[in-house]
Amino acid sequence: MQGSERALEGLQRISAAELSYMPLEGMLYELLERIRRHVKADTAAILLLDRERGVLVARAACGIEEVREGVQVPLGRGFAGRVATEGHPIIVDNVEQADIFNPMLREHGLRSLLGVPLLVGSDVIGVMHIGTVTPRKFNGDDIRLMQLAAERAAHAIDNAQMAEQRSLTAILQRTLLPATLPSIPGLTITSKYLAAESGIKLGGDWHDVFTLPDGRVAFVIGDVVGRGVVAACVMAEVRSALRAYAMEHHDLATIMSLLNELLLAMGRNRSATVAIFALDLETKQLCVLSAGHLPALLLNPDGEHRQVGRATSPPLGVSTHGEYHTEVVTFEPGSALLMYTDGLVERRGELIDDGLERLGNALRTAVQKRGTRLANSVFQAIASQAPLEDDVAMLAVQSLPLGSHLEMKFDASPDVLASLRRVIARWLAEHQIVDPDRFDITLACSEAAANAIEHAYGPREASFGVDCGYADEEVCVNVSDEGTWRPLEGRERGRGLMMMHELMDSVDVDSTPRGTVVTLRKHVGVRDAP
C-alpha cells in the first residue's frame, strides 16, 4: 500500500459521525494530530473565520502555539488570509520569501506550508494548514489528502459550532431575559420568548420591565439584527445600557440617542430596533417611542385595537442623525397592550399588514378568555396557524380596575417610594377622590413608608406592606413592617409623624417586637361621577 493510500485509510477511521459527537476543541485537536502524523508534518493548525470582524482566529494547533498566542489573520492578508479569500489550496515552498502575516510561522522555523480552505458548500468557514521545518515540495497527493481532511473537518466543525452557539445563546438569553416580571397593582404583565423551530435562529430578541426613577413603569421590546452569540451579546449590552441611561433620569428620546451612539461606537455593523413605553399609573398616560420597531397593539375597553408607537425614527446604529420623537396615548383600565418582535407577524410571501391584522384578531380573542396568560394565549393562536420562521419575544400588559381594597408589598428601599406614590394616587383617582385629599393621603403614605424603610431594618434585605381600604367616604391605610424601629441617637425624630398628623384625620402607631403598623385614616371628598 502506498503512503498516500495508508494516510487516506488512517483519516477515514475518523468518520464524520464520529467527529460530530466529540466536543469541538477535542475533535479539532484529534483531527490535527492525525493529519500531522499521516502527512509527516511538523505543525498543523485550524483557523476559523469570524465573519463579524473579517479575521481568521486560531482555534486549534499542534506543534505550534498559535492558539495560546491568540493569532488572528485578516482576510486577504498573508498565507492563511489568501487561502480563505481565494478559496483554494495554496503552497508555500519557501517561507522566507513568502508574504507571511503571522510572524510565529517564521519564528518557529517553518520552511514550507500547505493550506486548504474549510468549506461548507461554497462558504469558507476557516483554513487548515500544515508546515515543515525542512524544505518540502508538497504534491497532488498531499493536497488531495488535506482537502479530504478539510471536507470532513468542515462539516463536523460547522455542526459543533451550531451546537455551541445554541448552547451559549440559550444561556445568555436565560440569564438576561427577566426571570420574573414585577407585580404591579392594577397591571397584569405576561411575557413569552420562543426560538424558531429550525436552524440557528437564536438571536437578539428581548424584552424588559422595570420602574423608572420617577415612578413610571417602563416596558421595553427590542430586536438586534443578526443571529447567534454575537447578536445575543449585543442585545445584552443594549439592554444593560438602556437600564443604565434610564436610571440617570434621562427622558426617552435622550435614552434612544445615547443607545444609538453606543451601537455606532461598537463598530460591529450592528443595528437594533427598540421600542420603549413609559406608563404613568396615576394619569394613565403611556409615553411611547419607537426606534424602527414594529408598532405595538393597543386594545381599548370597547374591543377595538389600534397601532401605537409607529416607527417614525430609524433603528439604532444606522445613522448619526437619528431624531427620536414620542407620542402619548391613554391606557385606560380594561385596555391591553401587546409588544412583540417581527418573528410573530412576518411570514414569507405575505404582506406585513396581513400579519398585523391576524395578530389584532388573536389579541381581541385572547383578552376575552378570562384567567389565561395573555402573551401565551396570543402566541398559541398565532403559532397554530403557521410555524415560526424566527425567534419571538412578546410582552403583554393589561390594565385592571384596582377595586376598593388595595394590598401591596415593597422592598425596603427608598427607590420604591416614587412608584408607591403613583400607585396610591391612581387608586384614589379611580375612586373619584378630590385632588387635595388625594395629595394629602399620598404624601402621608409616602412618609409612613419612608419611616418603615429608614427605622425598621438594618443593612439587610427586607420588605414592608401597604394595605389601603375605601368605604363610606373614608380612606384607611396600614403601613406595616416586621422590623424593630431603631433609636436615632443625636437626631431629631418625629417630623414624618408630625406631617402625617397634619395631613390625616388620625394616625395610630402600634409597635410590637414583631413589627410596627402605622394606621392612617381620612374622611375624603368625592367628585361627581363623569
Contact 40, 60 (CB under 8 A): no
Contact 252, 324 (CB under 8 A): yes
pLDDT in tens, 160-200: 777 766 666 666 666 666 767 888 888 999 998 876 554 44
At which residue does the C-alpha cell 409615553 appear? 287
**H-helix or E-strand containing 506?**
strand 506-512
pLDDT in tens, 351-367: 888 888 889 999 998 98
How distant, in Å, are the alpha carbons of 72, 151, 283, 521, 523 from that of 528? 74, 80, 18, 22, 16
pLDDT in tens, 469-520: 999 899 999 999 988 776 555 444 457 889 999 999 999 999 888 889 999 9
- CA separation for the pair 193, 124 (Å, rounded): 32
Outline where 413-469 has alpha helix (H): 417-430, 435-455
Which amino acid is located at 195 in the chain?
Answer: A
**H-helix or E-strand containing 144?**
helix 140-176
Of the two residues 317 and 15, the one the predictor is more confident about is: 317
Give the pLDDT of residue 491. 47
pLDDT in tens, 88-134: 999 988 888 777 877 777 777 888 899 999 998 888 999 999 999 89
CATH level 2 (architecture), domain 3-169: 2-Layer Sandwich (3.30)
The whole-model pTM stands at 0.74
Q: What is the DSSP letter of 313?
A: B
Give the model's confidence band at 307: pLDDT under 50 very low, under 70 low, under 90 confident, else very high.
very high
pLDDT in tens, 423-456: 999 999 999 999 999 999 999 999 999 988 887 7
CATH level 2 (architecture), domain 405-523: 2-Layer Sandwich (3.30)
- CA separation for the pair 137, 143 (Å, rounded): 11
How distant, in Å, are the alpha carbons of 231, 270, 303, 476, 509 from that of 275? 18, 17, 24, 39, 45
Strands, sheet with 217-227, edge to edge from the N-terminal-most edge strand: 203-211, 217-227, 272-280, 285-291, 327-330
Which amino acid is located at 481 in the chain?
Answer: D
**In the beta sheet, which residues pair with residue 307?**
297
Which amino acid is located at 434 in the chain?
Answer: V
**What CATH number does domain 177-399 carry, 3.30.70.1350, 3.40.50.720, 3.60.40.10, 3.40.640.10?**
3.60.40.10
Secondary structure string (H, E, C) spanning 24-35: HHHHHHHHHHHH
Q: Where are the domains of the chain?
A: 3-169, 177-399, 405-523
DSSP 3-state percent helix, strand, coil across the chain (nearest 5): 35, 30, 35
Domains 177-399 and 405-523 share a fold: no
